[in-house]
Amino acid sequence: MNRTNDGMGGAQQGANLLALRSHNTALVLDLLRTAGADGISRLELAERTGLTPQAVSKITARLREDGLAADAGRRASTGGKPRTVLRLVPEAGHAVGVHLDRDETRAVLADLDGTVVARRRAPLDLGAGAEAVLAGVAGVVEALRGDGAGARTPLGVGVALPGPLDHRRGVLHRVTGFPEWDGFPLRDALAEVLGVPVVVDKDTNAAALGLAVGGEGGSFAYLHLGTGLGAGLVIGGSVHRGPRTAAGEFGHQVVQLDGPPCGCGDRGCVEALCLGAVARGEVGEAARVLGAGAANLVGLLDIDRILLGGRTVEADSAAFVRGVRAVLDARAERTGDRAVPVRLAPGGTFGVAEGAAQLVLAPVFGRGDA
Amino acid sequence: MNRTNDGMGGAQQGANLLALRSHNTALVLDLLRTAGADGISRLELAERTGLTPQAVSKITARLREDGLAADAGRRASTGGKPRTVLRLVPEAGHAVGVHLDRDETRAVLADLDGTVVARRRAPLDLGAGAEAVLAGVAGVVEALRGDGAGARTPLGVGVALPGPLDHRRGVLHRVTGFPEWDGFPLRDALAEVLGVPVVVDKDTNAAALGLAVGGEGGSFAYLHLGTGLGAGLVIGGSVHRGPRTAAGEFGHQVVQLDGPPCGCGDRGCVEALCLGAVARGEVGEAARVLGAGAANLVGLLDIDRILLGGRTVEADSAAFVRGVRAVLDARAERTGDRAVPVRLAPGGTFGVAEGAAQLVLAPVFGRGDA
DNA sequence: CCACTTTCGCAACGCTGTTGCCAAAGTGCA
DNA sequence: TGCACTTTGGCAACAGCGTTGCGAAAGTGG
């Protein structure tokens, strides 16, 4: 059962039978999604969830009635009746993911299992005022709904954008260079225009969620090095946002006391050191600094994996992966533990937009705190 | 409902009616515990949990039958029948908390609401071999059982000790200076000797759990500066241990790239810098370094509070609190957010032992992952 | 062809929280 | 003092959850 572990200091919620059903249904749906086109049998679902086979049968019967699950052939017999394999019906629901980047809007229409059905991109000018931006986003969303084979209304729209914001209330806090957006209730304003539920989150969190749902299990940190440096933290399968959606401020971790000044006003931040090294052409040094920050993170949170992404990393990904890995390997040698793996995060241009779609889809599968 | 958020990469667990009942019962017990001697009414319990009043009535009726809850008078009427106030019966259960420190064993017997009923201390020599140490601990536990008014068997024994270990399996990994303890299955060995369940954890985690249960809500970090530097992280009310119980390695966060060497083999660790400054008599500088580490932590995890403890801090607590607070205040001024409060953690000599007792008690109230 | 294994749905069941109702226990006004 | 009203909280009936017992379905293997 689920306790929102994302910083709420408030009272824990009691659970009734409806909550019980939702929980178990979401669990089964998540396993169906993970199994993909191969499908999964009822008995396997029972084993994985700890529920009795009969309970699984009832839950899957409901899912089949609702059109969310369907038969997908049968396995080879092991001496008795062969298991019937079930699979998720991806077309049963769609979500739109929107990535508001500095100067461009990128958006995808994804089906239930996260497969991208359609993409759109459009120029973005945050200085044009709220109305124009909202209209632009609405236009892209409408266009995607037209692209989608099924003309059904999407379950919702997820919006990812840089900068601090309030995930819970859906309110922006500060958008660099555009103070007029401070305190703008993006979620509610957009929901009004679009007529469907809207979820907003930081771009790094959306990216991390996309990775988590896309198969990265356990706990990991997604370090994004582009024009800035940020992180999305996934702990035990859920994105850790903190009560103010302020977690993941990785770029301004100080790793060099009294070091060179950073744009944030502090000195010796990872971001300043890292980007400074890149500017000087010292990618190895940049990777070493990034690795030091990553090692701090690993020591503090005991996470399983480090994933690197962002345009600056992708420009010389081998060097970055190698450099960060070297620091973590050295750390592992000192502590005697197994080294924490470092990998390049899959993603591409629409990675954040896909993650944004998961802001809507993930709750269906019992992930996230919506 | 509760998802173990503590790093398990494995499958989420399905929930049945028994789990539902346990969850809601634990929720109610936790509210009763928090209310203390003042008690809390059924309707208030219903509001706080989101359960219907009737459900709360059924749950509390069971608790009263089991002797865990009892009437505690009634509130003033607001124009109708006055609310009956319920309270936890602390004597309904006890737990032993044991703190294995470098050279001393400190142990407490605590009742259900965490009140210490009896204390014991005994010399400890980890070099004397497993059998002698186990016998020593068993002796202390037996003595405490004698001290307790009720001669009933305690619910369990919580053991806190420094150094890396496996909380889930209860196996020690490395005990500094005593390699013979590597891989020792302390939990099972002690459980066999004592005949009651045993839980083991790092000392910093036990301390943090004690604080969390003792009323520190939300998310916070407990920074312990003694002969070393470690941290206990509480996120959303639960201790974050990580899948390998390796989280909270705060002392070896690097805040000074290529800085002075640390005993761990790395350079520029908070611990080395901090303790070095203390050794030079520069408490202000030590606090500044500690504050930098704390600020990193706040930025990364978006926690609500920093609590300081440990012998070195207590030796000049005002200076440490002031120094750390200054760094965090400066950070808040830069980001424009509210400053993260810094306080001295309550605790004292038996603080960790009390937290260790909570390793056993907390699961009763739906906290922790046992 | 038949015994055996394995899957999986139907039906009855126990237990959960929920709803409808009413007794209990106060306040406050006439 | 009495009566109307408010509020609490238990009893009983209920809907819905996962569980259990059992049997039909659908294979394998001799």
Check if the beta carbon of residue B93 is closer than 8 Å to that of residue B43: no
Residue labelled with tokens 């953690």: B345
B236: which chain A residues are within 8 Å (Cβ-Cβ)?
A: 3-9
Residue A148, in any domain of the structure: yes
Give me the pLDDT at residue B370, please: 44
Would you call A5 and B3 a contact, using CB atoms and an 8 Å cutoff? yes
Handedness of CA B75, B115, B242, B24 (dihedral sign): negative
Looking at the fold, whether A142 and A195 belong to one and the same domain comes out as yes
Looking at the fold, whether A102 and A173 belong to one and the same domain comes out as yes
Give me the pLDDT at residue B9, please: 41
| Cα of A242 to nearest chain B Cα, Å | 5
Q: Give the least confident one: A68-82, B126-140, B159-173.
A: A68-82
Residue B56, in any domain of the structure: yes
Q: Of all protein residues, which has its CA closest to the C1' atom of C6?
A: A80
B84: nt with nearest C1' to CA: D8
pLDDT at B148 over 80: no
Q: Is the CB of B59 under 7 A from strand C?
A: yes
Nearest to B250 by CA among B303, B314, B171: B303
Q: Is the CB of A334 under 7 A from strand C?
A: no
Euclidean distance between CA atoms A222 and A213, whole angstroms? 13
DSSP reduced 3-state for B247: coil
Minimum-distance CB partner of A253 among B247, B300, B302 = B300
Chain A segment 45-104 residues within 8 A of B by beta carbon are: 48-51, 55
| Cβ-based contacts (< 7 Å) between B 66-85 and strand C | 77, 79-82
Looking at the fold, whether B53 and B23 belong to one and the same domain comes out as yes
Give me the pLDDT at residue A11, please: 63
pLDDT for A142-168, tens place per residue? 999 888 766 578 999 999 998 889 999
pLDDT for B185-231, tens place per residue? 999 999 999 999 999 999 999 999 999 999 898 899 999 999 899 99
Looking at the fold, whether B47 and B25 belong to one and the same domain comes out as yes
Euclidean distance between CA atoms B223 and B307, whole angstroms? 6
Check if the beta carbon of residue A170 is closer than 8 Å to that of residue A188: yes
Domains in chain B: how many in total?
3
Helix A17-35, helix A42-49: angle, nearest 10: 120
Residue B151 DSSP class: -
Give me the pLDDT at residue A145, please: 87
Taking residues B309-326, report their average pLDDT.
96
Nearest to B253 by CA among A65, A280, A253: A253
Give me the pLDDT at residue B3, please: 41
Euclidean distance between CA atoms B29 and A223, whole angstroms? 41
Looking at the fold, whether A239 and A283 belong to one and the same domain comes out as yes
- The CATH number given to whatever domain includes residue B308 is 3.30.420.40
pLDDT at B149 over 80: no
Would you call A236 and B8 a contact, using CB atoms and an 8 Å cutoff? yes
**Is B300 within 8 Å of chain A by CB?**
yes
Residue B10, in any domain of the structure: no
Would you call A50 and B14 a contact, using CB atoms and an 8 Å cutoff? yes
Q: Distance from first CA to last CA of chain A, Å, rounded?
A: 15
Euclidean distance between CA atoms B334 and B341, whole angstroms? 16
pLDDT at A4 over 50: no
Give me the pLDDT at residue A37, please: 85
Give residue A187's region: left, alpha or beta (phi > 0; psi -120 to 50): alpha
Euclidean distance between CA atoms A114 and A358, whole angstroms? 7
CB atoms within 10 A of CB B52: 12
Taking residues B28-42, report their average pLDDT.
91
Q: Of all protein residues, which has its CA closest to the C1' atom of C28?
A: B79
Q: Pick the residue with more confidence: B99 or A103?
A: B99
Check if the beta carbon of residue A286 is closer than 8 Å to that of residue A278: yes
The Å distance, CA of B18 to C1' of C11, is 22
Sheet holding A342-344, edge to edge: A238-239, A229-235, A220-225, A305-309, A342-344
Would you call A4 and B236 a contact, using CB atoms and an 8 Å cutoff? yes
C-alpha angle A249/A189/A245, rounded to 5°? 15
Q: Of A70, A88, A106, which one is at a domain's C-terminal end?
A: A88
Task: Indicate the burial class of A131 (C-beta count within 10 angstroms; 0-12, 13-18, 19 or more).
Answer: exposed
The Å distance, CA of A95 to C1' of D14, is 38
pLDDT for B326-357, tens place per residue? 999 999 999 888 999 999 999 889 999 999 99
Q: What is the DSSP string of A259-302?
A: -SB-TTS-BSBHHHHHHHHHHTT-HHHHHHHHHHHHHHHHHHH-
A8: which chain B residues are within 8 Å (Cβ-Cβ)?
A: 218, 236
Residue B201, in any domain of the structure: yes
Handedness of CA B196, B197, B202, B207 (dihedral sign): negative
Minimum-distance CB partner of A292 among B242, B248, B254 = B254
pLDDT at A274 over 60: yes
Residue B103, in any domain of the structure: yes
| Cα of B243 to nearest chain A Cα, Å | 7
Give me the pLDDT at residue B369, please: 62
Non-local CB neighbours of A195 within 8 Å, separated by 6+ positions: A153
Give me the pLDDT at residue B74, please: 85
Looking at the fold, whether A174 and A140 belong to one and the same domain comes out as yes
Q: How confident is the model at residue A139 (pLDDT cuts 50, 70, 90)?
A: very high
pLDDT at B73 over 80: yes
pLDDT at A8 over 80: no
Looking at the fold, whether A115 and A169 belong to one and the same domain comes out as yes
Check if the beta carbon of residue A110 is closer than 8 Å to that of residue A116: yes
**How many helices (H) and strands (E) are present in chain A, helices listed first?**
11, 15
pLDDT at B71 over 80: yes
Would you call B3 and A8 a contact, using CB atoms and an 8 Å cutoff? no
Looking at the fold, whether B234 and B201 belong to one and the same domain comes out as no
Check if the beta carbon of residue A211 is closer than 8 Å to that of residue A307: yes
The Å distance, CA of A100 to C1' of C8, is 49
A217: which chain B residues are within 8 Å (Cβ-Cβ)?
A: 9
Would you call A246 and B50 a contact, using CB atoms and an 8 Å cutoff? no
Looking at the fold, whether B303 and B361 belong to one and the same domain comes out as no
Give percent of chain B with pLDDT exceeding 70.
95
Would you call B301 and A3 a contact, using CB atoms and an 8 Å cutoff? no
The Å distance, CA of B22 to C1' of C16, is 11
pLDDT at A251 over 90: yes
pLDDT at A217 over 90: no
Would you call A241 and B302 a contact, using CB atoms and an 8 Å cutoff? yes
Looking at the fold, whether B117 and B228 belong to one and the same domain comes out as no
The beta strands (E) that lie in chain B are given as 40-41, 69-74, 84-88, 94-100, 104-111, 116-123, 157-161, 165-166, 171-172, 198-202, 220-225, 229-235, 238-239, 305-309, 342-344
Residue A350, in any domain of the structure: no
**Is B301 within 8 Å of chain A by CB?**
yes
**Is A238 within 8 Å of chain B by CB?**
yes
pLDDT for A159-210, tens place per residue? 999 888 999 999 998 777 778 888 999 999 999 999 999 999 999 999 999 9
For B238, which residue in chain A has the nearest alpha carbon? A5
Give percent of chain B with pLDDT exceeding 90.
75
Q: Pick the residue with more confidence: A314 or A369?
A: A314
Would you call B27 and A12 a contact, using CB atoms and an 8 Å cutoff? yes
Looking at the fold, whether B222 and B339 belong to one and the same domain comes out as yes
Residue A11, in any domain of the structure: no
Would you call B14 and A49 a contact, using CB atoms and an 8 Å cutoff? yes
- The CATH number given to whatever domain includes residue B30 is 1.10.10.10
Q: What average pLDDT does chain B have? A: 91
- Beta-bridged to residue B99, according to DSSP, are B106, B160
**Is B135 within 8 Å of chain A by CB?**
no
The Å distance, CA of B15 to C1' of D18, is 9
**Is A232 within 8 Å of chain B by CB?**
no
Give me the pLDDT at residue B150, please: 62
Residue B50, in any domain of the structure: yes
Q: Are strands A198-202 and A220-225 parallel, antiparallel or unpaired?
A: unpaired
Sheet holding B305-309, edge to edge: B238-239, B229-235, B220-225, B305-309, B342-344
pLDDT at B142 over 50: yes
Check if the beta carbon of residue B126 is closer than 8 Å to that of residue B171: no
Looking at the fold, whether B266 and B303 belong to one and the same domain comes out as yes
Euclidean distance between CA atoms A202 and A200, whole angstroms? 7
Residue A212 DSSP class: H
| Cα of A226 to nearest chain B Cα, Å | 18
A44: containing domain:
17-88
| Cα of B294 to nearest chain A Cα, Å | 10
Q: Pick the residue with more confidence: B77 or B260?
A: B260
Give me the pLDDT at residue B12, please: 74
Check if the beta carbon of residue B159 is closer than 8 Å to that of residue B186: yes
Check if the beta carbon of residue B225 is closer than 8 Å to that of residue B276: no
Euclidean distance between CA atoms B334 and B344, whole angstroms? 24
The Å distance, CA of B1 to C1' of C10, is 31
**Is A18 within 8 Å of chain B by CB?**
no
Task: Kindly list the distances between the CA atom of residue B185 and the CA atoms of A104, B130, B132, B134, in Å, as whole numbers in the listed order.
Answer: 57, 10, 15, 12
pLDDT at A2 over 80: no
